[in-house]
Structure 1
Amino acid sequence: MARVLIVDDESDIRQAVAEVLAEEGHQVVSAGDGEEALAQIRAFHPELVLLDLMMPVMNGWEFRAAQKGDPDISEIPVVILSAMGRDGAIDADGFIQKPFDLEMLLAMVRRHASGGPSAPAAHHA
């Protein structure tokens, strides 16, 4: 079981992803923007962040810059979940374009979250 932080300004997406991950045995918290995500990352200590890019208050690019600038949280893997193509993506550990396939999402979580239920077996995209 991994601790996963979902950061997306669309509550329907946060809820749907949280439900799928919880069914797989993961602990999940969510945030609606980058500022809230920074508070959650420090309180929850996730093993993986699923990050939207286009959000109000603090967008994904600003969140990632703040995260990279803080040695206490800079090494937590980040997977981008965005409707933008890879051209808009930032330095991250993975990228999934919205709308996304749930199996692809689960495989990405297993690959990047060290505590994932099947982490050792997940070697493909």
Structure 2
Amino acid sequence: MRAPLPPKTRRGRLPQGGASVKTILIADDEAHLRLLVRKTLTEDGQRLLEAADGQEALARARKERPDLVILDWMMPRMTGLEVLEALRADPDTKHARVIMLTARSQQFDRTLVHRLGVSGYLVKPFSPLELIQLVERVLEGES
């Protein structure tokens, strides 16, 4: 059973320094996008990790066991889809929550990754507020 969530601030965000600090892995080959996501989520007091390609993302996910993986689809060395499939095939990571953050906007792509159990899907370009709201929903188990 999960611990109760801390109360939200007036902005609807989890408070800093709350009892439940979550670990989030941001995997994207574009440094500026990792920076944007990191700056967007930093105010929430989460522990943020980064990976610059698919292989690094998979290795960090297996080692760190993050509460959430924000995963780009098109990355070198391993695509986000390959990382997602590997996470699902590993008993230690098969229940990891994953948000796909990608430029791929076709319904076929969304359907494919939802069948693999993603918790959320956000198309680039995205608004930081959309990202915050989606991360909150996923971490609270609503997605």
- Please classify the TM superposition score into its range, dividing by the shorter chain length: 0.7 to 0.9
Unaligned runs of 5+ in 1: 114-118
Between the aligned partners of 1:67 and 1:44, the Cα distance in structure 2 is: 13
- Residues 83-98 of structure 1: pairs in structure 2 closer than 5 A: 83-85=103-105, 86-89=107-110, 90-91=113-114, 92-98=118-124
2:72 aligns with 52
Between the aligned partners of 1:15 and 1:3, the Cα distance in structure 2 is: 16
Matched, 1:22 2:42: yes
Unaligned runs of 5+ in 2: 1-20
Instruction: Give the alignment's TM-score, normalised by structure 1.
Output: 0.86
- How far apart are 1:106 and its partner, in Å? 0.6
Where do 4+ consecutive residues of structure 1 move more than 4 Å? none
Between the aligned partners of 2:27 and 2:48, the Cα distance in structure 1 is: 11
- CA RMSD, Structure 1 to Structure 2 (Å): 1.6
Instruction: Give the alignment's TM-score, normalised by structure 2.
Output: 0.76
- Residues 77-88 of structure 1: pairs in structure 2 closer than 5 A: 77-85=97-105, 86-88=107-109
> Once the two structures are aligned, what percentage of the paired residues are identical?
37
Number of residue pairs aligned between Structure 1 and Structure 2 = 117
Computing the radius of gyration from Cα coordinates, the structure with the larger value is 2
Larger RCO (alpha carbons 8 Å, 6+ apart): 1
Between the aligned partners of 1:101 and 1:16, the Cα distance in structure 2 is: 10
